[in-house]
Amino acid sequence: MKLLAIVPDELPSLRLLRPLRREGVEIAVGHTPEVIAREAPGSEVILYSSLAGGTPPFSEVWPHTGPGLKWVHSFEAGLDRLLTPELIASPVMVSNARGAYAPPLAEFAVYGILFFYKQTRRMLAQQQAHRWEQFEVESLAGKVMAVVGYGGVGSACAQAARRLGMRIHALRRHPERKERGVERFFAPEDLLPMLRGADVVLAALPLTPATRHWLNAEAFAAMKPSAIFINLGRGPVVDEAALVEALRRGQIAGAALDVFEHEPLAADSPLWAMENVLLSPHSTDRTVSPHWTDVGMRCFLQNWRCYRKGVPLLTRVDKAAGY
């Protein structure tokens, strides 16, 4: 059996694959077109990551794969560079890192709320100016968090917020399925009514043709002027121009963003200079301990054990749905 890891050669967590060699697994590593063309034809399993800037999209990998390919695992949760029409139509199984990076993302969600509710910019400005000036702050208790995309990340964020006394509303395809800790579920067609009642809107949507720019000018216009918007899912689910306009006009109070429509964020993006924006360069899940690449690799290895036993993969993707 051959495993092709299309990842950067220097990825620290590659060491976790060494025990597989004792199982008789041939492991090839590399993300260049030359390595892919040489190693993909005979590979049964492909571990794919777009971490390296030069990694080709999977549409350029697929033509080199052979009939023995059975399973492709995405090192990331996002699938927009992986799912091609050919892969979707094929019998090849696909899995991803769904939920693996949820804990630090949930921490950032709470931090994003507190950043605005506790007036962090004002606090730091007064500290730097040696100015004692008391002011009032908001509390999270009793506030409503509306989770748009109640998957692994969305549910982890909801759990963290609930511990701090927030009430949880969430959007899912089947709102009739109740879940403890969620006050109310909304159907996708009820997005705007959900947004109108939210104090914090958290986006944790996968990127599919249906969700691209799903959070648009109409969505931001429905939010409260005091609302905080947080995006931890995929950047293009938000119409970024509409978000910038909503922030400029005061339609919403602030935004905490870890993902963007185009990455890296352009140097001339107005988001950089906005006082009501907390901006992270898609780094909130890149933890030092445990190292984030180890977290991703362990997710793959958990699925690997399932694959070798012939039981269902833990994070298998619905290729047609896109997540």
107 assigned to active site: no
Give dist(CA 95, CA 75) in Å, integer: 9
18 assigned to active site: no
Identify the active-site residue in 38, 64, 282, 286: 282
282 assigned to active site: yes
The token pair at 168 is: 């949880």
Identify the active-site residue in 21, 218, 263, 308: 263
Asked whether the beta carbons of 229 and 255 are under 8 A apart, the reply is yes
| DSSP 3-state of 203 | strand
Residue 73 CB neighbour total at 10 angstroms: 28
Give dist(CA 169, CA 119) in Å, integer: 25
Name the one residue in this structure whose structure tokens are 């990825």.
11
Residue (of 277, 289, 240) closest to 260 by Cα position: 240
User: 260: exposed, middle or buried (C-beta count within 10 Å: 0-12, 13-18, 19+)?
Assistant: buried
For residue 94, give the H/E element and its range.
strand 93-95
Question: DSSP alpha helices (H): ranges in the chain?
Answer: 18-21, 33-39, 58-61, 85-89, 102-117, 120-128, 152-163, 191-196, 217-222, 240-249, 292-309
Which one-letter amino acid corresponds to residue 28? Answer: A
Identify the active-site residue in 76, 234, 240, 261: 234
Active site residues: 234, 263, 282
